[in-house]
A and B are shown apart, each in its own frame.
Chain A
Amino acid sequence: MTAIISVERLDKSFGNHAALREVGFEIASGEMVTLIGPSGSGKSTLLRHLIGLTRADRQSHGHVRVLDRDVQRQGRLVGARREQRRRAGYIFQQFNLVGRLSVLTNVLIGHLGAMPRWRALTGRFTQHERDLALRALERVGIVGLAHQRANTLSGGQMQRVAIARALVQEAEVIFADEPIASLDPRSAREVMEILQRINREDGRTIVVTLHQVDVARRYCRRAIALKQGRLYYDGPIEGLTDSRLQALYENAGLDELESRQPDHRMAAPLHAVG
C-alpha cells in the first residue's frame, strides 16, 4: 500500500484564526476516504490545499504531495504541467459550472488539459472528444440534457455535470468538497452512489468531505476527522464510536448534532431506498 496522497504538518491561519494546525496523513491508491467534522473544523480548507486552490502559511513546514508530485511546500505552490495537474480532479459544493455554456461544453472543459494548446484556446473539440463527453454524461444519467445551458439545471443535475467533467478529465484522484450539502436527499444519494461506483469500478481514489456521519458510514470505509483545525481521528469509519462523535461535535452548532442522529433528515431516504 503506497501512499498517493501525503500531507505533512499543514498549518493555515486566516488572520489570527488558526484554520489548520499540524495536519498530516497519507492516503493510498483506490481508497474512498471521508474528511469529516463540524462546520468550521477546517475540512474544506484542507481539501482546497490538496488541489492547490489555497496555500498553507508561509512560515510553516507544510507539505502536500499528490500522485508523485509536490502540490505545495512551505506555503508555496509548486507549478506543474497541465498533464500532471489534470490527474487530480475536484468537485465543489456549489458545482462551479460555467452557467452560460452548454452542459456538453462544461463537460468538455474537463478535457482542456489534455488537448493541444491551440485547440484548447480556441475551443475546437473533435468528434471523438464529444463522444467521450457524451459517454461521461450517459454514465451520470443525464445525457439527455447535453445541449441545455448549464444554468437551467437543478442542483443535483449540476453536480452530475461536475462529476462528468471529472470523468472526462480521467482524474486518478477526485476530491469532492461537500458534494451533497446543497442537494435534496434523493439527489444526494444518487451523487454519492455515482462517486462510489467511480471508486469501485474505475479504481479512482476519492476524498470526500461530509458533515453527515450516517452518509459517511454508508459510503466510506475510512474517516479522517478534524476538530478545530486539528486531526482528531484517522482510521476505519467503525472506529468513530458514538462517544468519539460526541466529543467531535461538542460545542458544535445545533444542526450538526441533528444531522448526526441516524433517524434524521438525510438518513431516512438513504436507508429507505438502499
Chain B
Amino acid sequence: MQSASSLDMQARAGKRSWTTLLGWAVAAGVLGWAWQGAEMAPGLLVSNAGNMATLAADFVPPTFGSLDHYIDQMLVTIQIAIWGTLLAVLFAIPFGLLSSDNLAPWWINQPVRRLMDACRAINELVFAMLFVVAVGLGPFAGTMALFVHTTGVLAKLFSEAVEATDAGPMEGVRVTGAGRLEEIIFGLIPQVLPLWISVSLYRFESNIRSATVLGMVGGGGIGVSLWETMRGFQYTETATIMLVIIVAVTLLDMASQRVRKRFI
C-alpha cells in the first residue's frame, strides 16, 4: 500500500515538473514570437546613435518666444481632461452599478459590460477622430473622446469595487423597509466611495497625459501645436512644448496624489 502510494506521488511530482517545463517553453516561445513581430533590433540604437544625436541637437536650445501661447494651450488641455473625466465619472456610476453581478441580473450586467468593453477597447485617439467628424475640430471633440473611453474604464473599475463589497450593510438597510435605491446609497456607496474617488483621480492624471496628444487628430489642446511644430521641423519649439507638458503633468500628478491619499 505504502510503496504504491509513494510511487503514485513520485509519478505526480514527475508530471508536475513536466508541465512546469512545458509552461516555460510556451512562455519562451511567446517572447520569441513577439520579438520577431515587434522587429526588435537593439543594435540599431548603437549603430544609429549618431543620427539620434543629430536629431536631439536640433531640439536645443528650446525657444521660449511662444511660451505664453503654449501655456494657454496646456490650460485648454487640462480643461479637456477635467470635463472628460467628470462626465465619465458621472456616467460610470450607473453603468458600473448595472454591470455588477451582485446588483443587476445577468441579462442586464452582461450587455452593459460588453458596451463598456467596447468603450474601453477603442483608443481615445480613434474616438477623437470620430467626434471631429461629428462636432468639428476643437477641444469639444477631444473632451467627448476622453469621456467615452474613460467611462468604459471607470465603469469596470467601479463595478469591481462594488462586487468586492460586503453584502451585510446592504441587508441591514433593506430590512428597515427602505427601497432598493436607498439600500445602494446608504449601504453600498459608503463602502466603495474611497476607492471610487481614488481611481477617478488616477484616471484624471492619465487623462491629462492622453489629452496632450488629442490635438494631433484635431481634438484640441496642446497636441495641435505639438503636431504642427514637429511637422514643420521646428524642433526647438517642440522642445518648449514638451517642457510645458512635463511641468504641467508633474504638478497635477503631485496635486492629485495628495488628494488621493486623503481618501485611501
Partners in one complex: yes
Interface set of A (CB-CB < 8 Å, partner B)? 51, 53, 82-90, 92, 94-101, 105, 109-114, 117, 120-121, 123, 162, 165-166, 169
Which of B172, B175, B182 sits near A121, CB closer than 8 Å? Answer: B182
List 9 extra interface pairs beyond A82-B179, A95-B172, A105-B186, CB under 8 A. Answer: A83-B177, A86-B178, A92-B168, A99-B191, A109-B173, A112-B177, A112-B178, A113-B177, A113-B179
The answer to whether B191 touches A100, judged by C-beta atoms less than 8 angstroms apart, is yes
The answer to whether A98 touches B191, judged by C-beta atoms less than 8 angstroms apart, is yes
Complex-state Cα separation, A96 to B171, whole angstroms: 7
The answer to whether A109 touches B186, judged by C-beta atoms less than 8 angstroms apart, is yes
Complex-state Cα separation, A88 to B175, whole angstroms: 8
In the assembled complex, 10 residue pairs joining A and B whose CB atoms fall closer than 8 Å, in A order, are A53-B175, A86-B176, A86-B178, A87-B177, A90-B175, A96-B168, A98-B190, A100-B190, A105-B186, A113-B179
B186 proximity list for chain A (CB < 8 A): 98, 101, 105, 109, 112, 123
Query: Chain A CB within 10 Å — which of B175, B177, B178 has the most?
Result: B175
Interface positions of B from 166 to 221, Cβ below 8 Å from A = 168-169, 171-179, 181-182, 185-187, 190-191, 193
Complex-state Cα separation, A98 to B86, whole angstroms: 27
Complex-state Cα separation, A110 to B178, whole angstroms: 8
Interface set of B (CB-CB < 8 Å, partner A)? 168-169, 171-179, 181-182, 185-187, 190-191, 193
Complex-state Cα separation, A99 to B193, whole angstroms: 12
Complex-state Cα separation, A96 to B178, whole angstroms: 15
Given A92-B168, A96-B169, A100-B190, decide whether A123 and B185 contact each other with a Cβ distance below 8 A. Answer: yes
Complex-state Cα separation, A87 to B178, whole angstroms: 11
Closest to A175 in B: B175
The answer to whether A110 touches B171, judged by C-beta atoms less than 8 angstroms apart, is no
Complex-state Cα separation, A88 to B182, whole angstroms: 17
Given A98-B186, A112-B186, decide whether A120 and B172 contact each other with a Cβ distance below 8 A. Answer: no
Given A92-B168, A98-B190, A101-B190, decide whether A53 and B174 contact each other with a Cβ distance below 8 A. Answer: yes
A117 proximity list for chain B (CB < 8 A): 179
The answer to whether B177 touches A94, judged by C-beta atoms less than 8 angstroms apart, is no
Complex-state Cα separation, A97 to B173, whole angstroms: 8
B190 proximity list for chain A (CB < 8 A): 98-101
CB distance from B152 to the nearest CB of A (A): 27
Which of A51, A97, A111, A166 sits near B169, CB closer than 8 Å? Answer: A97
A88 proximity list for chain B (CB < 8 A): 175
Complex-state Cα separation, A109 to B184, whole angstroms: 12
Complex-state Cα separation, A111 to B191, whole angstroms: 20
CB distance from A211 to the nearest CB of B (A): 20
Query: Chain B CB within 10 Å — which of A86, A105, A121, A166 has the most?
Result: A121
CB distance from B125 to the nearest CB of A (A): 39
CB distance from A144 to the nearest CB of B (A): 22
Complex-state Cα separation, A117 to B179, whole angstroms: 9
CB distance from B198 to the nearest CB of A (A): 14
Complex-state Cα separation, A162 to B172, whole angstroms: 9
CB distance from A82 to the nearest CB of B (A): 5
The answer to whether A113 touches B178, judged by C-beta atoms less than 8 angstroms apart, is yes
CB distance from B180 to the nearest CB of A (A): 11
CB distance from B102 to the nearest CB of A (A): 14
Given A100-B191, A109-B186, decide whether A165 and B169 contact each other with a Cβ distance below 8 A. Answer: no
CB distance from A159 to the nearest CB of B (A): 12
The answer to whether A112 touches B171, judged by C-beta atoms less than 8 angstroms apart, is no
B176 proximity list for chain A (CB < 8 A): 86, 89, 109-113, 165-166, 169
Complex-state Cα separation, A112 to B182, whole angstroms: 8
Closest to B188 in A: A98
Given A109-B186, A112-B186, A121-B185, decide whether A98 and B178 contact each other with a Cβ distance below 8 A. Answer: no
Query: Chain B CB within 10 Å — which of A82, A98, A123 has the most?
Result: A98
A111 proximity list for chain B (CB < 8 A): 176
